[in-house]
Amino acid sequence: MAYTTINKSTDHFNTKLYTGNNNTAHAITGVGFQPDFTWIKARSITKDHLLFDAIRGVTNAIKTNSTAATDTNSDFLTAFGTDGFTVGSQGKINTNSATYVSWNWKAGGSAVTNNVGDITSSVSCNNAAGISIITWTGDGSGTNVGTGFTGTETIGFATCKKLSTTSEWQTGMYGAYSGNYRNFAYHFELNSTSDLSGAGPYMMTSQTSGDPTKLKLATEGWINGVTYVAYVFKPVRGFSKMGYYTGNGNSDGPFVYTGFRPAWILRKKVGTDSWMLVDDKRLGRNPDQAYLFPNANQTESDIERIDIVSNGFKLRTTDGGDNGMATRYAYMAFASAPVVGTNNIPATAR
Average pLDDT, the chain: 90
In a domain, 347, yes or no: no
CB 109 within 8 A of CB 35: no
pLDDT value for 348: 40
How many contiguous H segments (helices) and E segments (strands) does the chain have? Answer: 2, 26
Give the pLDDT confidence score for residue 345 in this predicted structure.
45
Backbone angles phi, psi at 126, to 5 degrees: -115, 95
Same domain, 221 and 259: no
Pair (141, 217) in one structural domain: yes
Nearest to 168 by CA among 217, 131, 116, 203: 203
Total number of domains constituting the chain: 3
> Are 60 and 13 contained in the same domain?
yes
Q: Per the domain annotation, does 3 fall within a domain?
A: no
Instruction: Compute CA distances 101 → 7, 94, 121, 203, 237, whole Å.
Output: 24, 11, 30, 29, 26
Q: Which of 59-68, 167-176, 280-289, 317-326 has the highest mean pLDDT?
A: 59-68
pLDDT band at 186 (very low <50, low <70, confident <90, very high): confident
Query: 2 in a domain, yes or no?
Result: no
Whole-number pLDDT of residue 178: 54
pLDDT for 35-49, tens place per residue?
999 999 999 999 999
Rounded Cα distance between 159 and 195, Å, is: 15
Same domain (yes/no): 299, 318: yes
pTM over 0.75: yes
Of 337 and 326, more confident: 326
On whether both 170 and 216 belong to a single domain, the answer is: yes
Residue 349 placed within a domain:
no
| 253 and 312 belong to one structural domain | yes
In contact, 239 and 335? CB cutoff 8 Å: yes
Instruction: Decide if 346 is inside a domain.
Output: no
39 found inside a domain: yes
Which of the given ranges, 141-145, 201-205, 310-314, has the highest pLDDT on average? Answer: 310-314
Among residues 207, 233, 259, the one where a domain terminates is 233
pLDDT, tens digit, for every residue of 199-250? 776 667 765 556 889 998 888 888 899 999 999 999 999 999 999 999 999 9
Residue 1 lies in a domain: no
Say what the pLDDT of residue 206 is.
60
What number is the average pLDDT over the span 124-152? 94
Listed residues 54, 74, 105: the one ending a domain: 105
pLDDT above 80: residue 67:
yes
Say whether both 258 and 220 belong to one domain: no
Lowest average pLDDT, out of 75-79, 125-129, 289-293, goes to 289-293
pLDDT at 350: 36
Average pLDDT over residues 79-86: 97
Same domain? For 219 and 251 the reply is no
* DSSP-assigned beta bridge partners for residue 188: 171
What is the Cα–Cα distance from 56 to 135, expressed in whole angstroms?
8
User: Do 246 and 222 fall within a single domain?
Assistant: no
The answer to whether residues 205 and 279 belong to one domain is no
Same domain as 225, residue 120? yes
Please tell me what DSSP assigns to residue 36: S
Is 51 in the same domain as 128?
no
What's the farthest any 2 CA atoms get from each other in the chain?
53
Residue 28 lies in a domain: yes
Instruction: Spell out where 82-182 has E strands.
Output: 84-87, 99-105, 112-114, 121-126, 131-137, 144-146, 157-162, 170-173
Out of 233, 267, 298, pick the residue that ends a domain: 233
Q: Residue 141 class from Cβ within 10 Å (0-12 exposed, 13-18 middle, 19+ buried)?
A: exposed
- Could you tell me the residue range of the domain that residue 132 belongs to? 112-233
